[in-house]
Amino acid sequence: MSYRKKWIAVFSAVIVGVLAFVSAVPAMAQSAAWPNKPVRIVVPFPAGGTTDVVARLLGQRLQEVWGQSVVIENKTGAGGNIGAAEVAKAANDGYTLLMASGSIVTVNPHIYAKMPFDAAKDFLPITNVAQGPMVVVVAPNVAAKNISELIAMAKAKPGVMNFGSAGIGSQVHMAGENFLYTAGIDLKHVPYKGESLALTDVAGGSVEMLPGNLAAMLPFIKAGKVKALGVTSAERSPAAPDIPTVAESGLPGFVNVGWFGLLAPAGISKEIVEKIQRDSVAILSTDDTKQRLLAVGMTPVANTPTQFADAIRAESANWGNVVRARKIQPQ
């Protein structure tokens, strides 16, 4: 190669490198400055439910760390699909995030014939914030005092009793289906647009049973408005040690834990994801946050985006099997 050709080749390589660096500068600058305006966390269920409780707890702490407002917006309907779809279509600049219950990305794709988003492609998992058991509660006018008695009542009158949920495909609904399948009983499903709405009707006696998240159920349990028959974890919850597990109360081996995680629209920069995950994990590692979560029956998870994504894929496959076994028809 002649000296002239060598010089041209070297010069071209330098130009390409400079252009690549220059093109990367805006993204780097954006990531370094983020956040420089309020961040919105969409909760696809009503205020007062467990997803909302977890979002507000984390949002308050992130606001303190970032020095920017973190606004919690409740966008309800279609088993969480309406709020999730809004986030999926939002700009991928980190200013719109989703606090999802596990059902939105692991169950809904199996039970909704037309999804407004692709759960596997339209979101980037950031971190699983917290997880906790469900608790089977019944209305005050239900005679059952434990899980064994509830199962016996349901078997005596197949299809007569009912159970409420936070909506078709919600974690509450699927916990109920899992419970019915394991116990070999049949109850009519009464879906609501949120866990708190279902809980209100259980307390009022129009709905007989609800396998709700412990975090949302505790205030009603402590006030004596509903009766708790059993938590769905393998061991009793430190937040409610007087409530037996479902397994010890009449259904051996039954375990069903719900989770709540932070997701972003696909295409968000790696730097922003790392910052959100890093700051969230730091918050979830503090004793204060752990105690606040424990008070509502939750424990922090705080995993990496890769770990979270792997867990979502595995759980989605498992719930697909449950949906087929229970013959839950697509909506």
pLDDT digits over 208-236, tens only?
Answer: 999 998 988 999 999 999 999 999 999 99
Q: Check whether 19 has a pLDDT greater than 80.
A: no
Asked if residue 286 has pLDDT above 50, the reply is yes
Residue 290 above 60 pLDDT? Answer: yes
Q: How far apart are CA 279 and CA 283, in angstroms?
A: 6
**Stretch(es) of the chain classified as CATH 3.40.190.150:** 36-132+258-326
Q: Flag whether pLDDT at 60 surpasses 50.
A: yes
SS3 307: helix
| Range 189-194 average pLDDT | 90
d(CA 328, CA 305): 30
The pLDDT of 30-52, averaged and rounded, is 88
Answer whether 228's CB lies under 8 Å from 144's CB. Answer: no
At 51 the three-state DSSP class reads helix
CA dist 75 and 151 (Å) reads 35
pLDDT higher than threshold 50 for residue 55? yes
**Local structure of residue 245 (DSSP, 8 states):** B
Assess if CATH 3.40.50.1820 describes domain 36-132+258-326. no
| Nearest Cα residue to 296 out of 262, 250, 263, 260 | 260
Task: Give the mean pLDDT of the chain.
Answer: 90
Average pLDDT on 112-121 reads 95
Question: Who contacts 56 (Cβ-Cβ below 8 Å, separation ≥6)?
Answer: 72
**pLDDT score, position 5:** 54
Question: What are the pLDDT digits (tens) for 223-269?
Answer: 999 999 999 999 999 889 999 999 999 999 999 998 999 999 999 99
Burial 258-278 (b: 16+ CB within 10 A, else e): bbbbbbbbeebbeebbebbbe
CATH code for the structural domain at 133-257: 3.40.190.10
pTM score of the predicted model = 0.78
Share of the chain above pLDDT 90, in %: 76
